[in-house]
Amino acid sequence: MPKILIIEDDAAFCQMLQKFLIRNEYDVDTSFTAREAKSMLERNTYNLVLTDLRLPDYDGVQLLAHIKEADSQTQVIVMTGYAEVGSAVEAMKKGAYDYISKPFTPEEILMQIKGALRQEHKKEIAVGSSDGNDQKNTPGNDVGKQVVAGLSEASKKLNEYVKLVAPTDMSVLITGESGTGKEVTARAIHDNSKRKDHSFIAVDCGAIPKEIASSEFFGHIKGSFTGAVEDKIGHFEAANHGTLFLDEIGNLTYGNQIQLLRALQERKIKKVGSTKEIPVDVRIVTATNEDLTEAVEKGTFREDLFHRINEFSVEIPSLSERLEDLPLFADYFLKKANSSLGKEVVGFSKDVQEIFKQYHWPGNLRELQNIIKRAVLLTTGQYVEKEALPKEVYKTKEVNLPVDSFSKAEYEKEQIFRALKQANFNKSKAAKLLQITRKTLYNKINHYNLDL
């Protein structure tokens, strides 16, 4: 039975959490102070420690370091009611498995605990791990799979939607601006579903020539057409029992849409050149940065297919809508860049942090990742300095807007008015100029109470 220590100065909450975890078959001790917790850590070995980030007699981040010194194998989840991004990042740098913001649901804390204990098990069986600290589940390790949850309200809402729909078999349509991380969200849905042990197949529909789309989706048999020198398994068959992610689905031709709809309705496919039907059990997750409802109205996207793929929709917020999370994302991409480039850059200078806060990030997370990777490559010291950034990033701060009157809201309103004026107040055209969906534009107009 896994042994857990809860360190929490709110006695009522601490005891309530203890009782809940005991009911879920965990052996749980509690401590209301850091001093008492230190003593308990010296006397006992714990698989997991749940600690408040703010304690009356001790800094939670410092306590985290003490826990790791006592036993590097102990997993730590920090709890905070203050939604402090900087402290959460610092805690994860010190070796915390993850953080969780209060108030949280029983399901959320159980999911975190199970994940942390799985991570501990991986460490114990890892071959060649020198000190047990090499595989921490921090925002820089396990780069391809790690999801930075975010602490902003927009990110919390997104995470709630993912947790809600992931265990189902509903088809999910993911919308959002270019570069917001739609594939990352699709993978999160797959990884939290009952299909997680099967394949996740990602397909860029915009990169498939219409002439070979049937072969790509359904496969072909040898000799079925010129160039078919061997049998080929299509994406549907490859994703059988798993998840098929179709990115930029709006780029499919009308004919390809018909073929896709038929496969989704019948749950059977035929390889090109074959008469044999192959049953497939595939969950469909799709994504687009276009307004598919507008495409349906224009007749370029089939309405029946739209309803088939849109049983549940998730809109990814732009980076400008969750600037509170920017330090988390920046730290994650810094570690990722260090890993791929063989560098050891520690962080960002104060100038760079301020520039990041004031920049409007039209390319969203993809732009942030590219800028940080370029900056890490150019950085020779411990910290990324302003000179390592592309000029267009900090020119926005220095030229476009006075620093003393800078406001994200004012900047966005100015950009929206400018785009609307340029598009003769045609909202669809303005949305394209701003590189956002029409729905997002309407939301921003309502948010700022713009009188148009």
Q: List b or e across 376-403, with b for residues whose CB sees 16 or more CB atoms inside 10 angstroms.
A: beebeeeebebebbeeebbebbeeebee
Structure tokens at 118: 């799985």
pLDDT tens by residue, 50-108 = 988 778 777 777 788 888 877 878 899 888 764 455 566 667 666 788 777 776 777 77
Span 406-411, mean pLDDT?
Answer: 58
Cα-based angle 134, 138, 140 (whole degrees, multiple of 5)? 85
Query: Does residue 135 surpass a pLDDT of 50?
Result: no
All structural domains of the chain:
3-125 (3.40.50.2300), 169-315 (3.40.50.300), 319-405 (1.10.8.60), 408-447 (1.10.10)
Q: How confident is the model at residue 421 (pLDDT cuts 50, 70, 90)?
A: confident
Residues facing 172 on adjacent strands = 285, 312
If you count them, how many residues does the chain have? 452
Q: Is the dihedral of CA 186, 187, 189, 195 positive or negative?
A: positive
Query: Does residue 401 surpass a pLDDT of 70?
Result: no
Query: Does residue 312 surpass a pLDDT of 50?
Result: yes
From CA 267, how far away is CA 244, in angstroms rounded?
13
CB 368 within 8 A of CB 329: yes
Query: Does residue 140 surpass a pLDDT of 80?
Result: no
Within 24-155, strands assigned E span: 27-31, 48-52, 54-55, 58-59, 75-80, 98-101
How many distinct helices (H) and strands (E) make up the chain? Answer: 19, 18
Query: Does residue 351 surpass a pLDDT of 90?
Result: yes
From CA 107, how far away is CA 96, in angstroms rounded?
20
From CA 384, how far away is CA 333, in angstroms rounded?
13
Secondary structure letter of residue 311 according to DSSP: S
Choice between 424 and 179, residue whose per-residue pLDDT is larger: 179
Highest mean pLDDT among 119-133, 189-203, 224-238: 189-203
From CA 19, how far away is CA 7, in angstroms rounded?
14
Average pLDDT, rounded, for the chain: 82
3 state SS of 42? helix
Structure tokens at 393: 């990033």
Spacing of C-alpha 266 from chain mean position: 32
pTM: 0.59
